[in-house]
Structure 1
Amino acid sequence: MVPPQPRRKGIVLRTTTAHWFPVASALLLVGWGANQFASLLAFYQQQHGFSQLAVTSMLGIYVAGLIPALLLGGRLSDALGRKPATFAALAMTVVASGAMVFGPWAPTMLFVGRFLAGIATGVAMAAGSSWVKELSQPPWDERAGHNSGARRASLFTTAGFWLGPVVSGLLANYAPAPEILPYLFHIVLCLPLMLLLAKVPDVVASAPAATTPNIASHYAYPDGGRRFWRVVAPGAPWVFGSGTLGFAVVPALLTGLGDHVLLYSTAAVALTLGAGVAVQALARRVDSERSAAATLTAISTTVVGLLIALMTALTQFAWLGLLASTLLGAGYGLILVAGLSETQRLSSSRALGRNSGQFYVLAYAGFLAPTIWAFAAQWFEPLQLLLAVLGLGVVSLLTIAVNSQKFLPARALSSTGESA
C-alpha cells in the first residue's frame, strides 16, 4: 500500500535537514584541532625541555596561517564552492595532527602542524560557516529559523574550541602516550567525518546561474557595507577579546592565589569557554533584522563582565573573578552569533564566504588583547588598564547603539516604517 503523502514529506524533510550537521561537525573538529595544543604547553616544557619562547612561537605561527586563510579561504569558496574548501580544511587538520605526533622528536613538526592548523581553521571558519548557513534554509532545511545557520556554525565552532583543550588535557594527564594519543584521537574522529562530508551537496556549485546575484557589490543591498562597518565591525574584536580577557587576564588580577593559581586558571578557562557555548541559545531569541539587539546585548554583557573584573581587582575576591570570566565568556559567545548572523544577512550569496572571512579577521584581532595588556602593563597599573578597556567597551556599545536601526534592508525598514 502506498504511504500517505504527509508521511513521505516528513521523510524527505528529515533527510534534507541532516545536511548541515556533517558540515557543522567539521567546524567542531577543526576548532578542536586548533586548540588541542593549548593544554599541552606545560607538558612540552616540563617533559621535553621546550623553552617558553619555543611554545609561544608555536602559538604565534598558528596566527600566521590563520589570517591569510580567513581572507582567501572565503573568497575561494565563493568562486569554487564550499565543499572543496571545507573538505580541504578537514583534511588539513588531520595532516596537522599527524605532523604534531612527531613533535617531541622533531620540534620542527610542531611548527608545521600549528601552521597547518591555522590554515585549516581559517578556511573552515570562512567556508564552512557559509556552507552551514546555506544548508540551514529552504530547500535544504524547511524548519530552520532566520539565524539558524549562524547559530549552528558558531555553536559547533566554539564547542570545538572548548572540547579540544579539555580532551587533550585529560588524555595527556591520565592516558598513556601523552605525546601521541591526543593527536591520534583527533585524527580518528576526523576520518569517518570526511566520508560523510563527501556526500553533502555543494550549495554554491549547484546553485542555478539565474539565481546568482551580481557581486559588483558584495552585499545583498546597497547600504549593506555601511551597516557592516558601523554595526558589525565595532563589535567583532570583542568576540575573542572578551574570551581572552576572561581566561588570560582576569586570573592575573588576583595576587593571593598561591599554589592554587593553576587550578584557578583552569577553572577560568572552563567557565569562559563553557559560557560561550551555553549562552548561544539566547542570541536566537534577541536577534532581529530590524535592529542590532543581539549585538547590543552581547557588548553589554561584556561591559558588565569588565565592571566585575574591575571589582575583582579592587576587592581580591576570587569568586568575583570567576563571575567576571563567566560573563566575559557569555559576551564572547553572544557576539560571535550576533556578528555572524548580521554578516550573513548583509552578504550576497556569492560573497558570503568573503564577508564571513572578513568578519572573522576582525574577530581574531581580539586575540591581541592579552599581548597588548602585557606590553602596556610595563607602564600602567591593572586598574588603569581595566578602566581603559572598559572605556573602549562603552565606546563600542554607543557606536553600535547609534547605528542600530540605520542602513537596514528594505524588508526590515518596511516592517518598522523607517527610512534609510
Structure 2
Amino acid sequence: MRHASLRAMTVYGTLTAVVFALGASVPTPLYPLYQRVYGLVPFQVTALFAIYVVALLIALLTAGRLSNHLGRKPVIAGALLLNLAALAIFLAADSYQGLLLARVVQGLAMGIAVPTCGAAIVDADPERGPVLNSVVPFLGMSFGALSTGLLVSLAPHPMALPYVAIGIFSVLSLLALVRMPETCPRHPGALASLRPSLGVPRAARAQFIRYLPPVLTGWAIGGLYMSLMPTLLNRALHTESQMVTGVIVCVLMGSAAVAVMVGRTRPASRMMLAGAVAQMLGIPLTLAGMELGQGPLMFLGTMIVGTGQGLVFSSILRLLLPLAEGQERASMLATFFALSYTAFAAPAVLAGMAVPYLGLMQTAFVYGMVILVALALALLGLRRVPEPKRC
C-alpha cells in the first residue's frame, strides 16, 4: 500500500475519532438546560451519563473486534450511521425518555468507533498510532465541551445547534471514508468475535490489582465532571453560563492530553506515582474552590487533577501489557476497560442518588473524600512499582 494512502488513513482515522469524542462530550454543558426544560433531578442527569457508558461498554466488549473480520471501513461506516441516528434522536427528543434513547445509541456508536478507528490508525502508522490513540479522546472531549459551551452561551438554538454541527462533521467523515484505503482484509469468525472474553492471567493478577486503583479513581473523577459538574459549577459560582462548564471540562481533558504526551517517554512507574499524587493534590483544591465560590481555584485544582489523570493513563497500559501475551492480553484489556467504565459511571450514579439526602455540595465533598481515601490506599501499593520487563 502506498505511503500517501496510509498517511491519509492516519489523518482520517484521527479526525474521525475526534468527531466521535466531540459528540460524546456535547451533552455535558447542556445538562443544566435539560434540567430546566424537563425538570430533571440530579439522579436523572447521572442516569443520562451512565446509560451512555453502559451502552458504550456493551458495544466495546462485543463489537470491539468486529473490524478484524469485516474490515475497518464497513465498521467505521456503521458507527458513523449510528452516530447520525443518535444526533437525529437528540434533535427530535421532546422528553427525558428521548434523551435516554439518544444516549444509548450514541454509546453504541462510540463503543464501536473507538477500537475501530484506533485500529485503523495503528494499521496505517504503527509508530505514532498508539500515541494518537492515547491523546485523541482527551482532545476530542476537550474541544467538544468547550465548543458546545460557547455555542450554548452565544448562539441561537442551544439545544440543537451543537448536534447539527457534529452531524455535519459525521456526514463529511462518511463521505471521505469512500476514498480511504482498507487497512485490514476480511477474515472469517465475525460472529465468534462478538463473544466477550474477560479474564486476567494468574501471573499478572497481583500487579493488575496494584496498578488499577489510581486509574479507577481517575475514571470516577471524570464521571463526576461529565455528569454533575455543570450543576455544581452553577451552584458554586452562582452563574447559569454553560460556557463555564465547557471551559472546566476543557481544562480537565486538555491538561490530561498534555500529560499523556509528556509522560509517554518517561518511566511508567514514576509517572503512575506522580499521577496519583497530582490527583490527591488537585481534588482538595477543587473542593475548596467550590466551598469558597472561587472559580480560579476550581480551575487550578481541575488542571492538576487532569494532569494526574493523563500521567496515570499514559502509564497503565505500558505497565500492564508486558504481563500477558496473545489472547490473554486481549482478555486482560477487556477486563481493564470493563472495570474502568464501571468506575466511570457507577460512582456518579450513586452520587446522583445521594443528592436528595445530602444536598448537591455535600455530596460532592463526600465523593471527593472517598476518592482521596482510595488514592491514599492506592499510593501504599504503588510505593515500589517495578518497571515491566521488556522482551
TM-score normalized by the length of structure 2: 0.77
What's 1:158 paired with? 138
Structure 1: unaligned runs, 5 residues or longer: 1-10, 138-143, 207-215, 412-420
Assess, with a 3 A threshold, how the Cα gap between structure 1 residues 342 and 189 changes in structure 2: closer, same or farther.
farther
What's 1:174 paired with? 154
The question of whether the paired residues in 2 share the 8 Å contact of 1:162 and 1:274 is answered with yes
- Cα offset, 1:12, TM superposition: 5.5
What's 2:194 paired with? none
CA distance in 1, matches of 2:167, 2:23: 9
CA distance in 2, matches of 1:202, 1:370: 38
CA distance in 1, matches of 2:288, 2:157: 43
Assess, with a 3 A threshold, how the Cα gap between structure 1 residues 114 and 370 changes in structure 2: closer, same or farther.
closer
What's 2:190 paired with? none
Assess, with a 3 A threshold, how the Cα gap between structure 1 residues 224 and 305 changes in structure 2: closer, same or farther.
farther
CA distance in 1, matches of 2:381, 2:292: 31
What's 1:29 paired with? 19
CA distance in 2, matches of 1:313, 1:333: 23
1:202 to 169, 172, 183: 183
CA distance in 2, matches of 1:254, 1:111: 23
Assess, with a 3 A threshold, how the Cα gap between structure 1 residues 62 and 356 changes in structure 2: closer, same or farther.
same
2:218 to 215, 235, 239: 239
Match for 1:151: what amino acid? Answer: V
The within-5 A match list for 1:5-84 is 13=3, 15-46=5-36, 49-53=37-41, 57-84=47-74
What's 1:121 paired with? 110
The question of whether the paired residues in 2 share the 8 Å contact of 1:78 and 1:351 is answered with no
- Cα offset, 1:342, TM superposition: 4.6
Assess, with a 3 A threshold, how the Cα gap between structure 1 residues 185 and 371 changes in structure 2: closer, same or farther.
same
CA distance in 1, matches of 2:235, 2:45: 25
CA distance in 2, matches of 1:73, 1:159: 24
Deviations, residues 109-155 of structure 1 (Å, cap 9, x unaligned): 43332111011112222333344334332xxxxxx2xxx43321132
- Cα offset, 1:168, TM superposition: 3.0
What's 1:132 paired with? 121
1:230 equivalenced with 2:209 (yes/no): yes
CA distance in 2, matches of 1:20, 1:187: 22
- Cα offset, 1:97, TM superposition: 0.9
CA distance in 2, matches of 1:343, 1:134: 22
2:80 to 83, 86, 90: 90
The question of whether the paired residues in 2 share the 8 Å contact of 1:77 and 1:127 is answered with yes
The within-5 A match list for 1:15-414 is 15-46=5-36, 49-53=37-41, 57-104=47-94, 108-137=97-126, 144=127, 148-198=128-178, 199-203=180-184, 205=186, 225-226=204-205, 229-245=208-224, 248=228, 252=232, 257-259=237-239, 265=245, 267-286=247-266, 288=267, 291-309=268-286, 312=289, 318-342=295-319, 348=325, 355-364=332-341, 365-373=343-351, 378=357, 386-405=368-387, 408-411=388-391
Assess, with a 3 A threshold, how the Cα gap between structure 1 residues 26 and 344 changes in structure 2: closer, same or farther.
farther
- Cα offset, 1:57, TM superposition: 4.5
Deviations, residues 51-102 of structure 1 (Å, cap 9, x unaligned): 2056554434323312211221224345545444333222211221122221
Assess, with a 3 A threshold, how the Cα gap between structure 1 residues 360 and 392 changes in structure 2: closer, same or farther.
same
Q: Rg bigger for which structure?
A: 1
Assess, with a 3 A threshold, how the Cα gap between structure 1 residues 261 and 22 changes in structure 2: closer, same or farther.
closer
CA distance in 2, matches of 1:150, 1:342: 15
CA distance in 2, matches of 1:41, 1:251: 8
Structure 2: unaligned runs, 5 residues or longer: 188-196
Assess, with a 3 A threshold, how the Cα gap between structure 1 residues 196 and 235 changes in structure 2: closer, same or farther.
farther
CA distance in 1, matches of 2:100, 2:231: 28
- Cα offset, 1:27, TM superposition: 1.7
- Cα offset, 1:15, TM superposition: 4.7
Deviations, residues 159-207 of structure 1 (Å, cap 9, x unaligned): 222222332333344334444332222121112222444524334748x
TM-score normalized by the length of structure 1: 0.73
CA distance in 2, matches of 1:384, 1:185: 37
Assess, with a 3 A threshold, how the Cα gap between structure 1 residues 181 and 103 changes in structure 2: closer, same or farther.
same
The question of whether the paired residues in 1 share the 8 Å contact of 2:253 and 2:306 is answered with yes
The question of whether the paired residues in 2 share the 8 Å contact of 1:236 and 1:362 is answered with no
- Cα offset, 1:246, TM superposition: 5.7
Assess, with a 3 A threshold, how the Cα gap between structure 1 residues 342 and 264 changes in structure 2: closer, same or farther.
same
Assess, with a 3 A threshold, how the Cα gap between structure 1 residues 237 and 73 changes in structure 2: closer, same or farther.
farther
CA distance in 2, matches of 1:55, 1:390: 24
Secondary structure (helix, strand or coil) at the match of 1:202 reads coil
The question of whether the paired residues in 2 share the 8 Å contact of 1:172 and 1:178 is answered with yes
Assess, with a 3 A threshold, how the Cα gap between structure 1 residues 14 and 22 changes in structure 2: closer, same or farther.
same
CA distance in 2, matches of 1:297, 1:57: 32
The question of whether the paired residues in 2 share the 8 Å contact of 1:239 and 1:332 is answered with yes
Secondary structure (helix, strand or coil) at the match of 2:116 reads helix
Assess, with a 3 A threshold, how the Cα gap between structure 1 residues 130 and 301 changes in structure 2: closer, same or farther.
farther
- Cα offset, 1:45, TM superposition: 4.4
Secondary structure (helix, strand or coil) at the match of 1:39 reads helix
